[in-house]
Structure 1
Amino acid sequence: MDSMQAAGIIFVWILISSLIFCSHTVGSRIGLNYGRVADNLPPPDEVAKLVQSLKVDHVRIFDANAAVLTAFANTGIRLTICVPNDQIALIGSDHAAGEAWIQANVLQYLPSTSITTIAVGNEVLTSGSDNAVIASLVPAMQNIHTALVTAGLDRFIKVSTSHSLDVLGSRFPPSAASFSSQWSQSIMQPMLDFLSTTGSFYMLNMYPYLVYQEERSKGVPLDYALIRPSGFFKLDTLNGIRYVSMFDEIVDAVVSAMADLGHGELPIVVSETGWPTVGDESEVGASIENAVTYNTNLVSRINQNPPVGTQLKPGMPLQAFIFALFNEDQKPGPASERNWGLFYPNMAPVYGIDLTA
């Protein structure tokens, strides 16, 4: 490394450190997922201006798209970028591939673009990935981290991966939750060890709307999923804790599952959550009114100062990324899949919400 490269890395450290400090002083722990499975979205530079107008300083994308990374340059908005699932096997098997990925998708955009997290894949264990990809997940995370160490950026850019609730083998009662035996020792144990050693965090994709679809026939009311008090509660009979919201129930289940593997101390980032505004006839609860209620209550819950944490982790700060910024017209599946956005593709709001409240 020559003196100019060293000076550049030091400059990056200073800049990213200042961005991180500024973002924490804003007070909002709410971010946005900027999905792009659509053919009618506005250009990324217009999207960056929209996000700035919302006074949100965290955005998560599902790849490392050059146009998006360039558009968010000099905005002060912190980005979580993603290694696509189909690149994990190569990166997991080759240190050089990890270094090349960091060079192409991170180093050339710093310091103008603030990249603070790299998610290696999205729901790799539960999205139908083949065994080679699953086996490569933790090695790929390690190789990406090693490349950041080489570049002198590991203190400022953390490496993680996002999981759906399906990685849990049991979820209730929360105090007895655990990861599925299919992945517990082979994947989750070394992954949690890695997250702990590198000072990173667990990324949780959680959708109370989807859990409500499964549990409403068992008498679970809509208000419980909407984080709205109703008098209903679930009792954890092992410790006597009463849960009055599905959000806390789910987070505490993950806390217990991590503790079962010796890592209950790890922070949790809710990397995806939200509520759809439109659904098929069978999709009970999908509406603008309920989306406003859930996301408003979520913002209030996450942004409380000091943080309230959960029943098992009082005072634990949580960060949450709302899914999603836009409705995405090319997503397959039921109507709800295409209607999670806060905005229509023409940037008109689907509904109004204060993300800094």
Structure 2
Amino acid sequence: MAPFLLFLFPLLGLSFGEISSKIGINYGRLGDNLPSANRSIELLKAMNAGRVKLYDADPEILKLLSGTNLQVSIMVPNNEISTIASDQTKADEWVRNNVLPYYPETMIRYLLIGNEVLSYNSSDQDRQMWYDLVPAMSKIKSSLKSQNITNIKVGTPLAMDALQSTFPPSKATFRADISDTVMAPMLRFLNRTKSFFFIDVYPFFPWSSNPGNISLDFALFRGNSTMEYTDPGTGLVYTNLLDQMLDSLIFAMTKLGYPNIRLLITETGWPSSGDIEQPGANIHNAATYNRNLIHRMVAKPPLGTPARPGVVIPTFIFSLFDENQKTGPGTERHWGKRPLEDYEPLPEEQNNRPYKGAVWCVVAKGVSVNDEELGSAVNNACIAGNASGTCDALSPGKECYEPVALTRHASYAFSSYWAKFRSQGATCHFNGLAEQTSLDPSHGSCKFPSVIF
């Protein structure tokens, strides 16, 4: 049974045809345990998905998509944006290498410039890429036009952090650092080319960061009349969090003079698992979110949002597979849709309340790893944290030296490093070698550092 079917068909009672007209799937490949490209495309075809979104322009996959009925979205990598922005010949070359060999047999319909570019702000190079976005979009569009290709929409997927505020929706504005310099010219381009505002929108994140004030039912489309929210500025009534988030974009665009640019959801979904301190990341919620999302997006007539009732919103669900090589918090590796036979019946809801207590970071159970790889991870953690005494307790004669076992030493090093540097972005991952536990691994006089939530 194909991954993703769990959340679509048995729980929905929807036919393949009803789903295929509007729903797309993101096909990310940051994993070392994924099916082959050929098998993956067969899965997409078996689902009758209407669209597939890639994070590159992989030649093998684009060839495999030739002759299918799948509309395809391809992407210019972030690191190529500035080069293309400054040189029309580079844009022409990109189109010549990544579009012309496959089009029109492969139904490329969207060409996205970068991925969540405006979310990167750690260097001058990142910020320069902001200003290169629209020039790159314009040059790619010109390249397509020169080849008489008029049915590929050009744009860029943004995250919700492009907004300064989202609540209430009618008060939403784009961030001050990008509003006039980036967003205004981008909206002008999208409006002129009749393209979409492409957005990655995840109700999971605002809910999980504020579960005490946002109802889980509101985030999962399970709201009722007692959970409705009325925007004081417009009188519009909201029954779910996704509509609020989408309308905040509409109002922000309207404030810049572009009230009619269509929305396309490039990513949305709900994680099926995550770290101990990440509430609500479970299979039950993931199934519920995707089921109810699809009900809304395939409704006839279209539902739209309170600010744009009756309007179709093309949607790509994230994602086809879990991607175990992604870095960051645990949820990053658990957005994929798993085989149906793994979860019958659907598990009950769990971990919907924030975890309170201590958490440690230890060597993951069931991970096949050689001593060299684990030893290298320990050395990296100890060297990186040397100034903070991360591994002092592992020195000969110290309290955690005995017993001399690589797995025990690695667990201490992982937990110590994570506890000291979590506030600076460290995660309990260590290239897949580590996992969190709420069971104290301390022994005797050896006390493992922990993170308290």
TM-score, reference length from structure 2:
0.69
Q: Which amino acid aligns with 1:174?
A: P
**Residue matched to 1:331:** 326
Distance 2:230 2:18 in 1: 37
Query: 5+ unaligned residues in a row in structure 1: which ranges?
Result: 1-23
1:266 aligned to 2:261? yes
* 1:181/1:137 CA distance change after superposition, 3 Å: same
SS at match of 1:296: helix
* 1:38/1:26 CA distance change after superposition, 3 Å: closer
**Residue matched to 2:49:** 56
Q: Which amino acid aligns with 1:327?
A: D
Which residues in structure 2 correspond to 1:65-84 (within 5 Å)? Answer: 65-84=58-77
* 1:351/1:150 CA distance change after superposition, 3 Å: farther
Distance 1:248 1:85 in 2: 29
SS at match of 1:224: helix
**Residue matched to 1:13:** none
Distance 1:222 1:251 in 2: 18
* 1:84/1:239 CA distance change after superposition, 3 Å: same
Match of 1:254 among 249, 252, 255: 249
Deviation of 1:226 after TM superposition, in Å, equals 0.5
Residue identity over aligned pairs, in percent, reads: 38
2:113–2:133 CA contact under 8 A, matched in 1:
yes
Distance 1:351 1:275 in 2: 19
Distance 1:76 1:343 in 2: 24
1:342–1:351 CA contact under 8 A, matched in 2:
no
SS at match of 1:332: coil
After superposition, the C-alpha distances for 1:261-283 in whole angstroms (9 at most, x for unaligned) are: 11110110011000011111111
After superposition, the C-alpha distances for 1:177-217 in whole angstroms (9 at most, x for unaligned) are: 11111101100001000001111010010110111012213
**Residue matched to 1:20:** none
Give the structure with higher Rg (CA).
2
* 1:90/1:351 CA distance change after superposition, 3 Å: farther
Which residues in structure 2 correspond to 1:29-48 (within 5 Å)? Answer: 29-48=22-41
After superposition, the C-alpha distances for 1:67-91 in whole angstroms (9 at most, x for unaligned) are: 1111211112111000000000000
Deviation of 1:242 after TM superposition, in Å, equals 2.4
Match of 2:220 among 201, 215, 226: 226
Distance 2:315 2:105 in 1: 24
Which stretch of the first structure deviates more once superposed, 159-168 or 66-75? 66-75
1:190 aligned to 2:178? no
1:341–1:350 CA contact under 8 A, matched in 2:
no
Distance 2:92 2:196 in 1: 22
SS at match of 1:41: coil
Distance 2:74 2:343 in 1: 25
* 1:259/1:83 CA distance change after superposition, 3 Å: same
**Residue matched to 1:142:** 138
1:343–1:351 CA contact under 8 A, matched in 2:
no
Distance 2:118 2:69 in 1: 33
Q: Which amino acid aligns with 2:307?
A: L
Deviation of 1:351 after TM superposition, in Å, equals 8.2
SS at match of 1:130: helix
1:237 aligned to 2:232? yes
Q: Which runs of 4+ in 1 moved over 4 A?
A: 24-27, 347-353
* 1:333/1:25 CA distance change after superposition, 3 Å: closer
After superposition, the C-alpha distances for 1:102-134 in whole angstroms (9 at most, x for unaligned) are: 000000112221101000011001134612211
Q: Which amino acid aligns with 1:55?
A: N
Distance 1:235 1:295 in 2: 25
Q: Which amino acid aligns with 1:176?
A: K
Distance 1:309 1:278 in 2: 29
1:180 aligned to 2:180? no
**Residue matched to 1:18:** none
After superposition, the C-alpha distances for 1:232-278 in whole angstroms (9 at most, x for unaligned) are: 12231112222110010001000101111111101100110000111
Distance 2:271 2:51 in 1: 21
Distance 2:68 2:203 in 1: 32
**Residue matched to 1:283:** 278
* 1:247/1:26 CA distance change after superposition, 3 Å: closer
* 1:26/1:228 CA distance change after superposition, 3 Å: closer
* 1:308/1:352 CA distance change after superposition, 3 Å: farther
Aligned residues: 327
SS at match of 1:79: strand
Q: Which amino acid aligns with 2:286?
A: A
Deviation of 1:164 after TM superposition, in Å, equals 0.3
SS at match of 1:286: coil
**Residue matched to 1:314:** 309
* 1:42/1:348 CA distance change after superposition, 3 Å: farther
Distance 2:342 2:153 in 1: 32
Distance 1:80 1:274 in 2: 18
Instruction: Tell me the C-alpha RMSD between the 2 structures.
Output: 2.0
SS at match of 1:337: helix
2:120–2:126 CA contact under 8 A, matched in 1:
no
**Residue matched to 1:118:** 111
Deviation of 1:27 after TM superposition, in Å, equals 6.0
